Amino acid sequence: MSFHIPTVPAPSGAACCRCKRWTYAPVAVRWIPAASGPGHTLYACPSHAAALIPGPLPGELERGM
């Protein structure tokens, strides 16, 4: 007899750019473009996200409009 053991996905989240604590509910607050390759998204925890001035997010700096 064989049993199927369900797999649990690994927890995901990000470190808050303000308090540096890990959060499982990250809010994207800023996108940093890179000279080469993909840019980098900064995340904040929900309690700090409201206090941060939102910066550009991916797609907001598109050129050629």
Task: List pLDDT tens digits, range 15-52.
Answer: 999 999 999 999 998 888 888 888 888 999 999 998 88
What span, in angstroms and rounded, lies between the C-alpha atoms of 11 and 22? 11
pLDDT of 56:
66
Q: Which of 39, 4, 44 has its CA nearest to residue 21?
A: 44
| pTM for the full predicted model | 0.65
Q: Which runs of E-coded beta strand occur in 1-65? A: 14-15, 22-23, 27-32, 40-44
Residue tagged 């980098």 (tokens): 40
pLDDT of 30:
86
Band (pLDDT 50/70/90 cuts) for residue 8 is confident
pLDDT of 37:
84
Contact 61, 55 (CB under 8 A): no
CA dihedral 20, 36, 29, 18 (to 10 degrees): 20
